[in-house]
Amino acid sequence: MDYFPVFVKLQEAPCLVVGGGEVALRKVRLLLEAGARLTVVAPQLVPELASLAAQGQLAYHAGVFEPQHTVGMRLVVAATNRRDINRQVSEAAQQRGILVNVVDDPELSTYITPAIIDRSPLVIAVSTGGGVPVLARLIRARLESLIPAGFGQLARFAARFRERVKQRFDNVEARRAFWESVLEGPVAEAVMHGNEAMADSEMEKRLAEASSKPLGAVYLVGAGPGNPDLLTFRALRLMQQADVVLYDNLVASELLDLVRRDAERIYVGKARANHTLPQEDINLLMVRLAREGRRVLRLKGGDPFTFGRGGEEIQTLAEHDIPFEVVPGITSASGAASYAGIPLTHRDYAQSVTFVTGHKKDGTIQLDWPALTRPDQTVVVYMGLTMAADLCQAFIAHGKAPDTPAAVVEWATTQRQRTVIGTLESLPQVISRYEVRSPALIIVGEVVNLADKLSWYRRVENRAATMQVPEGQEHD
């Protein structure tokens, strides 16, 4: 984090703007809206600034900047078209420990002005650290369209009840859950439609009937194959509401960054033959946390019901009468295939697709091999990387041609994605040669041949040696 985001109270605070042009005018408008007691220093002013000075909304010192102009100021802005003067302003302010912004010059600034979405008292600031202001403005434009104007009114309404809610709920989790139900329900709708009388009445009713004991629940959320952009809206919303999150090694760190910052995080990672917590213990942990009144997010890579043991987990929750919800995610097979340019079905190559897991509870491969070796289909193997050699041998032993195309997609949909391609005969050597690591999926079938033409997100790692890896060859 290059800049620590902070909101500064400027009501009646003395602030200085050096410059009298259009750029200075934009900064003056913002500072006046924040309630600053403003002084402008410049040889001359554009008409609107001159008008503000004539109306007494700011003090105007005609002339050139002098270091003593910064004395006693809370905030200083340099907005001239001369860098030498801007540097003088910056140095004078910094010598006195005053925050200073030099417009479009982060090097001379000790603070930067973000792009602002104003729904006062709700204010949202967006910054790129001064590097790409245009991008910050583009993001602001998107947020402006997503955040109703009535959110400011809703913030004022909620502030009126803050102390009463705090007195009603001494439990932080219960208080947070109450506010979320209010701010996302009929009360909020009434406020934003201008019917505060109805909102007041409903709020009083909610306060009178609310239980001081928080109601716990568990949310099994599919995090998708790894790219945060592929999360569902529902998943993101629950990630921001959870009190505690349980996650494993299939969840990318970029996804965890989207979880509410103060939520407790518990790693329950599972890898083949190396379980941080046995599955049964994870199930009971969710029960215990929910009974404590906490909202538990069980974050799973891909989709909870596609080799995610989601069924086992909600069976335990149901047995213990714990409220739960399942939020589907893009399964890893769909994400990996799409981003690798490998269609799972294709009229010319595959009329069906089958998902299988590379190992079962006893660690052995016990699959319906006659079904998996039928022609004109695609087979996607989850959790098969460590047993790739055994899998490929089994495919061949049950009648699949040794030259059947096969691919491995590692860290699918993320910046780390790699696709390596071989055949059932060569794939184990390809995996070893390119040091492929979990999380990775294996795709078997003729559709793999399309990756070379259709891979749009990341190139095939071993494009120059698609079907074999000669001894001594270096990969790029």
Q: Is 303 annotated as a binding residue?
A: yes
**Which SS3 state, helix, strand or coil, does residue 274 take?**
strand
For residue 245, the surrounding DSSP H or E stretch is: strand 244-247
Beta-ladder partners of 42:
62
Does an H or E element contain 296, and which? strand 295-300
DSSP-derived 3-state class of residue 235:
helix
Separation of alpha carbons 73 and 92, rounded Å: 11
DSSP 215: P
C-beta separation of 131 from 107 below 8 A: no
C-beta of residue 419 within 8 angstroms of C-beta of residue 460: yes
Cα 249 to Cα 254: distance, rounded to the nearest angstrom = 12
412 annotated ligand-binding residue: yes
- Other beta carbons within 10 angstroms of residue 209's beta carbon come to 7
Amino acid symbol at 134: V
- 22 labeled part of a ligand binding site: yes
Say if residue 209 carries a ligand binding annotation.
Answer: no
Q: Is 23 annotated as a binding residue?
A: yes
Q: Which helix (H) or strand (E) holds 123?
A: strand 122-126
Closest residue by Cα to residue 131 from 161, 100, 105: 105
> Six-digit token pair at 473?
């060859």
**CB count in 10 Å sphere of residue 21:** 15
The one catalytic residue among 243, 248, 300, 400 = 248
Q: What backbone torsions phi and psi does residue 349 show, to the nearest 5 degrees?
A: -130, -35
CA distance linking residue 296 with residue 282, whole number of Å? 12
Question: Among residues 270, 361, 368, 453, which one is catalytic?
Answer: 270
- Are 381 and 424 spatial neighbours (Cβ–Cβ below 8 Å)? no
Query: What are 80's two structure tokens?
Result: 């001239």
- DSSP assignment of 180-210: HHHHTSHHHHHHHTT-HHHHHHHHHHHHHH-
Any known ligand binding at 44?
A: yes
Contact between 417 and 444 (Cβ < 8 Å): no
Cis peptide before 47 (omega within 30 of 0): no
Q: Is there a catalytic annotation at residue 270?
A: yes
Check the annotation: does 302 bind a ligand.
yes
Q: Is 248 a catalytic residue?
A: yes
Residue 383 annotated in ligand binding:
yes
CA distances from 59 to 17, 72, 445 (A): 10, 14, 76
Q: What are phi and psi of 176, to 5 degrees?
A: -65, -45
Annotated binding-site residue numbers for NAD(+): 22-23, 43-44
Annotated binding-site residue numbers: 22-23, 43-44, 225, 301-303, 383, 412
Kindly list the catalytic residues: 248, 270
Annotated binding-site residue numbers for S-adenosyl-L-methionine: 225, 301-303, 383, 412
